[in-house]
Amino acid sequence: MLKKYILFFALIYILTGCGTDYMLSSFYLRKDFTWPTSPSEQKSLNYYKHVDGDLTKFNGYTSPSILATPANYLLVIYEIRDIPIYTKVYGVDGSSDMGVYVAISKNAETFSATPIRVGGIADDYGSPVSFVKGNRVVVLATGGIGFGNGKADEITKISVSISTNNGYNWTAWTNVIDTNIFKPLLAKANRFYTNPGNGTVLVNGTLVCMIDYKANGADTTPAGAAIIYSTDNGITWQLGSTLTYSGHRWARVIAERTDGKLLIAAVPNTTRNVDNIYNSNGALAWYMADSLNGNISSFQPSGLPNNSGGSIAGDRIQYSENGRSKSGILLLHSTPNRDYKNPGAGGATGKVKNAMSMSISSDEGQTWTLITNAIGQQEPYDKTSFRQSMKVLKDGSIVTCIEEGDKNVINDTSNQPFFIVYKRMGLSALSDGKYSYEGL
């Protein structure tokens, strides 16, 4: 027995002699990199955290996307504008200062206090679209003239930056708009804009996203959107099929359907007046692409409310309802005028102009059922929102990263900011037990 005590105290001495950090490091690492949780633990998983933001900048922190690497690092990639202007939904215009940054988490809870700039500091880029393919994190972004009114023959830069060490180092921005590959589009447009958020990785490994396009000029109304894709892990890109807008913008590939078709949706294109830019809403426009280069046709789903002029996001999930297994698509969107009650203000009631919400479809996007319209800050869920992204992680938990306003409505009277807000949830917790995660 005496030998056991001597051995125990000797071990403690060795560990403490190396410092407390070393003594606790093994426990710390286990906590950091084994954040995946079981389905039973996800019944109560509902975690909320501010990632970045500034009370002095109205829309200085925008366009978030979120993803996880195979090594279990979570990355939030977003745009920071040095001189934000509330009427400028499109930040890149050839004159504004901005950059794409990444905040990194090892434990799916806290993020690095000082974000890392993506692509270097030589040029201004914004509106990032992010992918993970193996150990590669691929980010597309808009640079140069963007949607600005510059020289008539100037072409927007759409560039790529890649990290192979979980977001800590990035290649310099490389322009991917090739005048040969994009010639069919250049014949009618020379202003492009990446539609920010998560890109889609198809079952066959192809990276896919959408860019908006228009001709040069002061009007920032997009004429349409184009599919662009990469079959070599983000190094080179090709032009796919295009669609023409009618009062919409920011088309996104919501999901690859089980039949191989691409489900695409776009939000209403709101006007320049600040109240209409951030607070108006309208019906989403839906499309179906037969393939990357195939026919794109209109699609008419049911069950969704109007959406704000901010973006939407989607991802696939395997789940069960009433004991039945289903393959589903999640949609992160907004709901207009959601009622809330503030218990800290004598029970006063109000309405959230555009509340972050989530719906689910079990028939490949034909019909949708609302899960909740209370995503974001905890009770009383009284904060409005604009752009957002979403990802279903490998353990089935759902992470969102959104632009959350400081109040229940966005306006320019009190210099209201957008905060970049992270939330991790279990499907069961989100739906009060109606749905349960089963697999990806």
Checking if the pLDDT of 22 tops 50, the result is no
- Taken in order 99, 191, 410, 268, the sign of the CA dihedral is negative
Checking if the pLDDT of 39 tops 50, the result is yes
Report which of residues 350 and 334 the model is more confident about: 334
Report which of residues 102 and 55 the model is more confident about: 102
Considering the entire predicted model, what is its pTM? 0.91
Count CB atoms within 10 A of the CB of residue 24: 12
322-338 pLDDT per residue, tens:
999 999 999 999 999 99
Q: What is the pLDDT of residue 9?
A: 42
- Cα 119 from Cα 163, distance rounded (Å): 9
Report which of residues 83 and 5 the model is more confident about: 83
Three-state secondary-structure class, residue 410: coil
CB 265 within 8 A of CB 251: yes
397-438 pLDDT per residue, tens:
999 999 998 888 887 665 678 899 999 999 999 999 999 998
Report which of residues 123 and 9 the model is more confident about: 123
Contacts (Cβ under 8 Å, ≥6 apart) of 210:
195, 225, 226, 227, 228, 251, 252, 253, 264
Sorted by where each begins, the domain ranges of the chain are 53-439
Q: What percent of the chain has pLDDT over 70?
A: 90
Checking if the pLDDT of 21 tops 90, the result is no
Please provide the CATH number assigned to the domain covering 53-439.
Answer: 2.120.10.10
